[in-house]
Amino acid sequence: MAKKVYKKTDFPVWEVRRFLEPGPVVLVSSSWKGKYNIMSMGWHTVLEFSPSLIGCMITSANHSFGMIEKSGECVINIPTTELMDEVIGIGNCSGKDTDKFETFGLRPQKASVVSAPLIAECYASFECKLVEKRLLKAYNFFIFEVVKAHAAKRPKYPETMHYRGDGVFMISGKNVSRRSKFRPEKL
Amino acid sequence: MAKKVYKKTDFPVWEVRRFLEPGPVVLVSSSWKGKYNIMSMGWHTVLEFSPSLIGCMITSANHSFGMIEKSGECVINIPTTELMDEVIGIGNCSGKDTDKFETFGLRPQKASVVSAPLIAECYASFECKLVEKRLLKAYNFFIFEVVKAHAAKRPKYPETMHYRGDGVFMISGKNVSRRSKFRPEKL
């Protein structure tokens, strides 16, 4: 069955927190020596607005680890709950012996800046360059700069999956604005 | 008006991901030279199960930054949506000139291992020791080890706030288990 493709347009790199800070599971796509891969990832944090920095923990046992370290690039994609089975399946197998785009019926799209592909079926895709490796050996911790961002315009906020471990996902609920209660410089 | 206090019991430190990995706003409490402080924080990630490691970005302009760096300790507390006004108010002011426990009607509780206090009105509290400062200067990035964890038993999952920027919170929605779809070692 064909999956829904999200039509994405340019999105400001300093605003990727809108989708990442709430803590969804993301799909990280990578490219190395003509091969693509995808991994599911829940351990990430925003680190800075501008430059737009994201920190991620990627286990070195993971096939994606070497591809991302060697290429110095990846794309962080935001899947919606329609892709829950794919998110789980992608985490269950290894890119060492599986073409995950083909196996899970996902479509790679050419990125603007990096060689790693966007995932057409994801709500948003953030092209990333590796900028900091000092904690790679001790903690498997990468810092990426988002150099180009793409996001769908509708819905305004995607319904995302937030992993709790033990097979349980929290599904993102309603969005509420408390804008008037914040001091402007604290927004 | 008295706020609800969550009765917390011991919780395994290697399972704090259950509450942190979904990406909620947390309240970080600290102690230095006999004074307590609290900050609201959304930029954090789980980094390891055992030792139980959490990475956090805390702006150096923040009063808590110095207190946490000097004491080498803090407590990461999970507030529920009942505390939304407090979470915003705590972010709007500085511990330099405000006693936040008193101002926001929160009750400090003695921790087991660290000198920073637990927040009685939070669903869970994780006592932390600072273990890694290499990226502190360049990225304001701390790595903490959770050395003792406390969590309420009911409800099973707290209703949490997940910040998107611009005054908008995503409220945690339903929890769904897909345990049977995971390979056991991937849970």
A123 is written with which tokens? 């709500």
Length, in residues, of chain A: 187
Mean pLDDT of B72-95: 98
Instruction: Specify whether the CB–CB gap between A43 and B53 falls below 8 A.
Output: no
Q: How far is A68 from chain B (nearest CA, A)?
A: 18
- SS3 for B37? strand
Structure tokens at A47: 């680190």
Residue B172, amino acid: S
- Report the C-alpha gap between A149 and A82 in whole angstroms: 22
Answer yes or no: are the C-beta atoms of B43 and B187 closer than 8 Å: no
Q: Which residue has the tokens 């410089």?
A: A185
pLDDT tens for residues B20-57? 999 999 999 999 999 999 999 999 999 999 999 999 99
- B82's CB contacts (< 8 A; 6+ apart) are B3, B4, B121
Q: Which two tokens stand for residue B104?
A: 């926001």
pLDDT bucket at A64, cuts 50 / 70 / 90: very high
Select the residue from B168, B182, B183 to test the A interface by mutation, using most A Cβ atoms within 10 A: B168
Cβ atoms B35, B69 nearer than 8 A:
no
Output the pLDDT for position A2: 79
Q: Residue B25's closest chain A neighbor by CA? A: A22
Q: What is the mean pLDDT of residues A44-52?
A: 98
What's the CA gap between A172 and B65, in Å, rounded?
Answer: 30
Domains and CATH numbers, chain A: 8-186 (2.30.110.10)
pTM: 0.98
Both structure tokens of B71: 């004491």
Chain B residues touching A44 at Cβ < 8 A? 45
Name the token pair of B115. Answer: 């000198």
Closest in B56, B169, B172 to A170, CB measured = B172
Give the pLDDT band of residue B172 (cuts 50, 70, 90). Answer: very high
Average pLDDT, chain A: 97
Burial of B61 (0-12, 13-18, 19+ CB in 10 A): exposed
Reading phi first (left if > 0) and then psi (alpha if -120 to 50, else beta), residue B166 is in left
pLDDT at B2 over 90: no
> Alpha-carbon distance B58 to B40, whole Å?
10
Q: Alpha-carbon distance A73 to B138, whole Å?
A: 21
Could you tell me if residue B22 is left (phi over 0), alpha (psi between -120 and 50 degrees) or otherwise beta?
Answer: alpha
Which positions in chain A touch B172 (Cβ < 8 Å)? 162, 170, 172-173
Q: A170 and B170: CB-CB below 8 Å? A: no
Task: For B93-118, write each residue's pLDDT tens digit.
Answer: 999 999 999 999 999 999 999 999 99
pLDDT range class, residue A154, cuts 50, 70, 90: very high
What residues contact A149, with CB distance under 8 A and at least 6 apart?
Answer: A10, A11, A12, A13, A15, A16, A52, A124, A125, A126, A127
Contact call for A164 and B17, based on CB within 8 A: yes
CB contact under 8 A, A48 and B57: yes
pLDDT of residue A126: 99
B18 contacts on A by Cβ (under 8 Å): 164-166, 168
A18: which chain B residues are within 8 Å (Cβ-Cβ)? 164-166, 168
Rounded to the nearest 10°, the torsion over CA A107, A133, A143, B114 is 130
